[in-house]
Chain A
Amino acid sequence: MSDAVRPLDAPAPRADAPAERRAIASVEDLRIHFSTKAGTVHAVDGVSFDIYDGEALGLVGETGCGKSVTARSFLRLVPMPPGVHAGGRVLFRPSQTCGACGGAGCEVCVRTGRVPMPCRTCGGVGCPSCDGAGAEAIDTMTAPEDRLRSIRGNRIAMIFQDPGKALNPALSIGDQLAEVLYAHRASEVLSRAGLDPADRGATSLLVRRMAGQRSTMAERLALRVPGLRADARKVQRVADEWVAASLAETHIPDPRKIMRAYPHELSGGMKQRVMIAQALACDPELLIADEPTTALDVTIQARILDLIRELQDRHRSSVLYISHDLSVVRRVCDRIAVMYAGKVVETREAAELFRAPLHPYTRGLLGATPSHREERSRLAAIEGTVPELIDPPAACRFHPRCPHAAEVCTTVEPTLESPPAAEGRVACFLYRSPAEVGVEPEQMPTLERTR
Chain B
Amino acid sequence: MTIVREHASVEAPASAGRALLRVRDLRKHFPIKQGALQRVVGHVRAVDGVSFDVRPGETVGVVGESGCGKSTLGRCISGLTDPTAGGVYYGMSDEDDARLDALLAIPEAERQQAQREELERLEVGHRVDRLQGDAWRAYRRNCQVVFQDSFSSLNPRQLVKNIIGRPLKVYREASGGDLLERVTELLESVGLGRHHLYRYPHQLSGGQRQRVSIARALALKPALIVLDEPTSALDVSVQAQILNLLGDLQAEYGLTYLFISHDLGVVRHMSDRVVVMYLGEIVERSSRHDIFTAPLHPYTQSLMAARPDVMEGSTEKGWLLEGTVPDPARPPQGCRFHTRCPVVTPLCGWEVDDVVRTLEGADAGLDALDAVQRHSPFHAELAFTSEDAAERLVRSLRSDGVKAAMRDAIVELERTGASVEVRFHEVDPVPLEEVRPAHLTSCILHTSRRAELDERTP
Contacts and interface: CB of A to CB of B under 8 A. Distances in A.
A299 B266 CA distance: 16
Contact of B235 (A63, A303, A306, A354): A63
Given A298-B307, A381-B241, A371 B265 contact: yes
A276 B244 CA distance: 38
Interface stretch (B36-44, B72-80, B142-150, B297-305): B297-305
Interface string A86-123: 00000000000000000000000000000000000000
Most interface-central of B238, B266, B267, B308 (chain A CB within 10 A)? B308
Contacts of A256: 364
A60 B304 CA distance: 23
Contacts of A146: none
A379 B244 contact: yes
Interface stretch (B51-59, B97-105, B122-130, B311-319): B311-319
A374 B269 CA distance: 9
Given A330-B310, A331-B313, A365 B237 contact: yes
A369 B314 contact: no
A376 B269 CA distance: 7
Interface residues of A, number: 49
Contact of A302 (B235, B244, B268, B307): B307
B262 A368 contact: no
B418 interface: no
A267 B324 contact: yes
A325 B240 CA distance: 13
Contacts of B317: 306
Nearest to B234: A63
Contacts of A372: 264-265, 267-268, 292, 304, 307, 309
A382 B364 contact: no
A370 interface: yes
Nearest to B324: A267
Interface in B342-391: 360-364
B448 interface: no
Contacts of A379: 240, 243-244, 269
B308 A328 contact: yes
Given A331-B313, A331-B314, A370-B243, A301 B306 contact: yes
Nearest to A383: B241
B1 interface: no
A343 to B, nearest CB: 16
Given A298-B262, A327-B308, A303 B268 contact: no
Contacts of B394: none
Contact of A364 (B237, B265, B269): B237
A347 B190 CA distance: 35
A267 B65 CA distance: 14
A324 B308 contact: no
Contacts of B305: 302
B320 interface: yes
B239 interface: yes
Interface string B221-237: 00000000000000111
A372 B207 CA distance: 23
A281 to B, nearest CB: 21
A375 interface: yes
Given A297-B65, A299-B321, A324-B235, A382 B240 contact: yes
A106 B20 CA distance: 70
A370 B247 CA distance: 14
Contacts of B396: none
Contacts of A382: 237, 240-241
A209 B235 CA distance: 46
B74 to A, nearest CB: 18
A385 B307 CA distance: 27
26 contacts: A62-B237, A254-B362, A257-B364, A298-B263, A299-B65, A301-B306, A302-B315, A302-B321, A303-B320, A306-B317, A326-B310, A327-B307, A330-B310, A331-B308, A368-B236, A368-B237, A369-B265, A370-B243, A370-B268, A372-B264, A372-B307, A373-B312, A380-B240, A381-B240, A381-B243, A385-B205
- What are the 6 tightest A-B residue pairs by CB atom distance, in nearest-first order? A368-B240, A381-B240, A302-B306, A370-B265, A372-B264, A370-B269
Given A326-B236, A371-B311, 5 more contacts: A269-B324, A299-B306, A305-B308, A371-B310, A382-B240
